[in-house]
Amino acid sequence: MAATMQDVARLAGVSAKTVSNVVNSHPHVAEATRLKVQAAIDKLGYELNVTARNLRKGRTGLIGLALPELKLPYFAELADSVMVEAEKAGLGVLIEQTNSDRDREIGVLHGQLRLMTDGLIFSPLALGMDDIHMFKVDFPLVLLGERVFGSANDHITMSNVEAAKAATLHLIAAGCRRIALIGAHPGEVVGSAALREQGYRAALQEAGLPVDEQLVRPSEYWHRGTGAAATDELIESGVEFDALFALNDALAMGAMHSLHAHRIDVPGDVSVFGFDDIEDAAYTRPTLSSVSPGRDQIAREAVQILEARVAEAHAPFDQRQPVHRIYADFELVPRESSRRPQVIDGAAGAKTSPAKLAH
Amino acid sequence: MAATMQDVARLAGVSAKTVSNVVNSHPHVAEATRLKVQAAIDKLGYELNVTARNLRKGRTGLIGLALPELKLPYFAELADSVMVEAEKAGLGVLIEQTNSDRDREIGVLHGQLRLMTDGLIFSPLALGMDDIHMFKVDFPLVLLGERVFGSANDHITMSNVEAAKAATLHLIAAGCRRIALIGAHPGEVVGSAALREQGYRAALQEAGLPVDEQLVRPSEYWHRGTGAAATDELIESGVEFDALFALNDALAMGAMHSLHAHRIDVPGDVSVFGFDDIEDAAYTRPTLSSVSPGRDQIAREAVQILEARVAEAHAPFDQRQPVHRIYADFELVPRESSRRPQVIDGAAGAKTSPAKLAH
DNA sequence: CATGCCATATACATCGTTGAAAGGGTAGAC
DNA sequence: GTCTACCCTTTCAACGATGTATATGGCATG
């Protein structure tokens, strides 16, 4: 059986509380006592029982992170960033995958695991504006993404409209005139798809270009396979286009796959722009232009806000911070896939000095 | 303040233990009582305090998963599989990233987070045979990977030698005669690199082909960037080769990037075979042949063994299971990158019916 | 010399739950 | 009518740590 503080105390000839004081580097502990206790700890191989401490303190030192799927590179990278930030704050991260499933997303808010955490960072993909009441919970909750607006939760998102507009304008500046959109969610009002499409339309309008609805291609899921399928359909429909703006990088990668299979050259015949700037983007062929969404900033703010909420959970209501609503900065990262045809030089391109387009 | 069992008990007019019995679906609870208690629970919005239960039960219901980096697709997919398995067993997963850093890997075995878990699944990349004593710990620990053999821990790995041999033989069967190896770790005796290289050499020998040491290219890290760099060097060295066997898919993707930049056609001029069969492999251009390492099986066995160890932790020593040493099955997944030149048809290839080469 | 302060250490209750053991009641067996 | 058996429920004492209040002794202050 593992040793307890009592065991250590007995061996060191002090009280359990003194052992506790040593372990927690309490200020007023005599050096001699500290050494005695430390010796006893080492001898017994004592390890603090964190569960007992948690019970006493009413906190677990863990935060939850609920996201659709770790396999999706964007979320793997987000999880990475969140874990790095959490570690700085001395917190552990309990990850839950929702698979974008409605029931699982609800489960995240009420399940067993939730009870083991002090708070939750949640990136919903299935729950939306209609479910806003579900986010009224009595534990610290920070929402990420674009599914929900106007709830009473802290919320971190990015400037989707502006970012999509900037990406589209970049394609226009490169000479593209018939820019297809891959990954639309028709009928959606909020959500990444709707907002990015909005930015796309705004850019066309600003440039005085018409929107051809045939170029707006829906795709419910944003995976490589669906991106390839949507592009196949677009090509087979016979509609002309000279650029593709994919609403995320996975779609873009699938699209490039499809273009290649149809012997359409990127960027010679068609330029491609993605969204998320996942690490893969620098290694596709050709390298993929994309929008970098400020992942680190999102993770940092999310953890910091959550931490502050956990800390104030036991404070009087009137001392609490107002609800945060944060828009993370973005950057355009142009790479080979969106070069003007005449500028192609075939060189392998890593991230080129990105146009900083701070919000 | 959150309600406790006492509060519920008072409201329902029963004892706290009865509330506990209801919450835990204890067999002998009168239906009337159950309803009374349930009503009180609903009315108060009572939620079980998991920490208190954990303290009482001496278990946390969490397992640790220590891996190098979630951003590496292989580990993201592994984490996914582990979480799915853990959920089936009613366990949560606390992920820690080591970044292949020695101190961090040691920290994983002794840090704060470890104390919050019932056991650990650990895939070390920095610690090796010299550190075998470190794995002698008094909590359930399942090791993954090829860094350590012969320790007294449960250990799950794959048949690296056989898998690498099969992949190399596949290239040979496709007509390749000068097969370069990317990602070697010279001097290493165990570890994925050493074992896979061993399989590579075995295949060449079996086919009666000589090993040209100039074709064995080292690369300490197995990332896309290093794969590209190693391939650049290989090309610039002027050594002839007609195939590349990359020791993981990231290296392979980097290699294909480099080959493309040098206008070398895959598989026309050079065939490429990777290792790990990450999801990306089906979407590279050309699609990447790879070895599928039985990730799901690894995850399943790891969680099941760990769970069994946790369960028997309080059992007498003589009733414990012997140490497990499991070799997961693998499969070859040939795709476009290793087709014989004359067989190329340019079609987009998803996972083609893979040659099952069970171990 | 009395007073108060500070550093140090302790005793005790407590966080919220559950296992063990025991109590009360009803029903069927003899 | 008593006994046994079983169902349902309760009481009590943990699990292992820490906050609060308190005790002790030394030292400085007035």
User: Residues B242-297: pLDDT tens digits?
Assistant: 999 999 999 999 999 899 889 899 999 999 999 999 988 988 878 999 999 999 99
Backbone angles phi, psi at A273, to 5 degrees: -130, 135
Render pLDDT for B115-159 as a digit per residue (tens, 0 to 9).
Answer: 999 999 999 999 988 899 999 998 999 999 988 888 889 999 999
Portion 211-230 of A in contact with B at CB < 8 A: 224, 228
pLDDT score of B242: 95
Mean pLDDT, all residues of chain A: 90
Indicate whether A25 and A41 sit together in one domain: yes
Distance A35 CA to D16 C1' (A): 22
Render pLDDT for B36-51 as a digit per residue (tens, 0 to 9).
Answer: 999 999 999 999 999 9
Query: Does pLDDT of B349 surpass 80?
Result: no
For residue A149, give the CATH number of its domain: 3.40.50.2300
d(CA B349, CA B287): 7
Q: Give the domain extent around A27.
A: 5-48
Query: Does pLDDT of B224 surpass 70?
Result: yes
pLDDT score of B356: 35
Confidence of residue A269 (pLDDT cuts 50, 70, 90): very high
**Is pLDDT larger for residue A190 or for residue A199?**
A199
Tell if A198 CB is < 7 Å from nucleic strand C: no
Q: What is the mean pLDDT of residues A132-158?
A: 92
Residue A53 lies in a domain: no
Alpha carbon distances (Å) from A151 to A33, A129, B77, B241 = 53, 9, 33, 60
Q: What is the mean pLDDT of residues B93-114?
A: 94
Render pLDDT for A191-241 as a digit per residue (tens, 0 to 9).
Answer: 899 999 999 999 999 999 999 999 999 999 898 889 999 999 999 999 999
Indicate whether B152 and B167 sit together in one domain: no
In sequence order, what are the residues at sequence separation of 6 or more whose Cβ sits closer than 8 angstroms to the Cβ of residue B316?
none
Confidence of residue A359 (pLDDT cuts 50, 70, 90): very low
- The token pair at A319 is 């001392």
Indicate whether A166 and A278 sit together in one domain: yes
Confidence of residue B346 (pLDDT cuts 50, 70, 90): very low
Q: What share of chain A is helix, strand, coil (3-state, %, to 5)?
A: 45, 15, 40
Tell if A13 CB is < 7 Å from nucleic strand C: yes
SS3 B245: strand
Residue A280 lies in a domain: yes
- Identify whether the C-beta of residue A335 lies closer than 8 Å to the C-beta of residue A343: no
Q: Which residues of B44-69 are buried (b: 16+ CB within 10 A; e: fewer)?
A: bebbbbbbebbbeeebbbbbbbbbbb
**Is pLDDT larger for residue B115 or for residue B345?**
B115
- The token pair at A48 is 């603090």
pLDDT score of A316: 63
Which residue has 């075939």 as its token pair? Answer: A346
- The token pair at A187 is 């009928």
Q: Based on the structure, what is the number of domains in chain A?
A: 3
3-state secondary structure A285-317: CCCCEEEECCHHHHHHHHHHHHHHHHHHCCCCH
Residue A55 lies in a domain: no
Indicate whether B304 and B284 sit together in one domain: no
Nearest to B51 among A54, A258, A284 (CB): A54
Indicate whether B129 and B176 sit together in one domain: no
Indicate whether A285 and A209 sit together in one domain: yes
Indicate whether B266 and B246 sit together in one domain: yes
d(CA A162, CA A144): 18
Portion 68-97 of B in contact with A at CB < 8 A: 69-71, 73, 76-77, 79-80, 83-84, 90, 92-97
Indicate whether B207 and B278 sit together in one domain: yes
Residue B284 contacts A where some CB pair is shorter than 8 Å: yes
Residue B47's closest chain A neighbor by CA? Answer: A115
Residue A352 lies in a domain: yes
Contacts of strand D, CB cut-off 7 Å? A 1-2, 4-6, 16-17, 20, 23-24, 48-49, 52-53, 55-57; B 13-18, 21, 26-30, 32-33, 52, 55-56, 58
Are B115 and A260 a contacting pair at CB < 8 A?
A: no
For residue B11, give the CATH number of its domain: 1.10.260.40
d(CA B73, CA A74): 11
Which residues from B are below 8 Å from A83, CB to CB? 70, 95-97
Indicate whether A166 and A277 sit together in one domain: yes
Indicate whether B253 and B182 sit together in one domain: yes
Residue B110's closest chain A neighbor by CA? Answer: A47
Residue A62 contacts B where some CB pair is shorter than 8 Å: yes
Query: Does pLDDT of B342 surpass 70?
Result: no
Portion 237-256 of B in contact with A at CB < 8 A: 253-254, 256
Residue A85 lies in a domain: yes
Which of A216-220, A278-282, B233-237 has the least mean pLDDT?
A278-282
Which residue has 């009870």 as its token pair? Answer: A115
Indicate whether A274 and A184 sit together in one domain: yes
pLDDT score of A295: 94
Indicate whether A167 and A259 sit together in one domain: yes
Query: Does pLDDT of A182 surpass 90?
Result: yes
Render pLDDT for B161-197 as a digit per residue (tens, 0 to 9).
Answer: 999 999 999 999 999 999 999 999 999 888 899 999 9
Query: Does pLDDT of B74 surpass 60?
Result: yes
**Is pLDDT larger for residue B358 or for residue B50?**
B50
Nearest to B254 among A62, A138, A283 (CB): A283
Side chain identity at B332, as an amino acid letter? L
